[in-house]
Structure 1
């Protein structure tokens, strides 16, 4: 398995492989950068097809957190972790305690939090073995509503840039993936008057959104072919790829999933098609912004966190304008902005 020569490695400071025989824990912790502060990024539990897939995912996500935290102007570096396995089969307090002990060994260079298949309760169990976790109930709590708010505002910023106004009444939005974040996103969109088309592998989630927000359910693969104004990828990454791009009719791609572009070149391909793309790590930064306020010297404030999240609208507006002025894809502009902040400081 090649690691150092992979483009995703990108000079990671530290990559740790963790195991615990008693609980069956198999995990990887990746610390991409601590230049702006301790690396912060959630832990996801996923049943990867291979160890190589897990390494690839954690490296991409870790680098993405470096850029996300920089563009969100947080004093955090970037890191990420993955626990390998089927959540329905391996979840246990003992497993999360074992993972917490591995976090403790890193001495604060990396702080973990919730992500896919990891709840705030799971993080609380890790917290019995280490203080190097964030997003705890009673402090900043569940970050999902803040991620949803930032994503909603990002969609409005994209619509404003493309159409000259923010009114989403009658705007057709396809939402792929209906987890905690995108359920709340659908609520915001419904209240704004948008027409929703939704899909998820979990039929109960689909039924809930259909019933609550008068959405139209579509098949998993059909989501790419819809004649909509906005495509919101909110499941796992790499859904913008060689196969799907020719099928996407939406003029805007803006959703809360991580690593939406299968490869960087796809950002330029969709720009040439006239599709406005909201870079994923910019639009979905609301959760990590909320988590930051857990560490604020004056103590957590939901009001301060919300105000910071509202700045995502302005950041994306700046990226869209620079993209247009410089004739570069938005993901390149976002990367350049992140690199400027990392180099020059907050």
Structure 2
């Protein structure tokens, strides 16, 4: 009788194992289910930036090289008035730039309040690769950039200077959502080797106080990458993103099993709740998150309509409009 019970017990265990195995295999990410390479970036100017990044990704290049090359296109475009060359100045007429970069090994580099350098993202990468530090600011960042061979130049273009002088007549400082005068290009990518990297760069809010720094150069706020889980970047009112360490939160929510879209939504709704609790007008705030996980799944969410992001994979380059809170 004992032998018969043992036989039935073993048979039951074997049957249970066979029943569970397909479920486990379905849940585990495999090479066939991973969508790579893929690159995401914020706003309409992300389309051009994605093209630059895709050239590297599509040839088997590293995600870190792709995101740097991609955002440099936006930094150098004088017609994009919220990033790099041609960016709107602070209230003193000075163009100050912020940027950060992060690779698959959690190496990080950042610059803030940097003047006279066309490509702050490349200076941020130099900080990451050539110094014992992770962030340099102001005159120190400029001195370092010049020591690395970066060229000092005037970043204030005639159209931006003209707008600034017109603003000085009233000096009324009230950032307006979705006119891209306080926005950023954030880019995250998954390369063919399954590695993630990200970059974020901006000229910050137009006519800000000199020395103001938003979320864009702050690892964990404007950008975060965890090569085991995923990556996220943010755009909009940086003070609100900093308040919740936004992109780190998005990645941690993905670690808990949430999809990229649901992680972005939960982070955005946390800003909504905090804003209400602080007695502030939610209509004056815009924040958008985009996220990408290790399977190549992506998603986004923002506080109010008007934000969009660009996505490039093997099917092409296109704009995507996410869901938002304020209807």
Normalising by structure 2, report the TM-score.
0.29
Higher helix share: 1
For the pair shown, which has the larger CA radius of gyration, 1 or 2?
Answer: 2
Q: Which has the higher strand share?
A: 2
Structure 1 length as normaliser, TM-score? 0.28
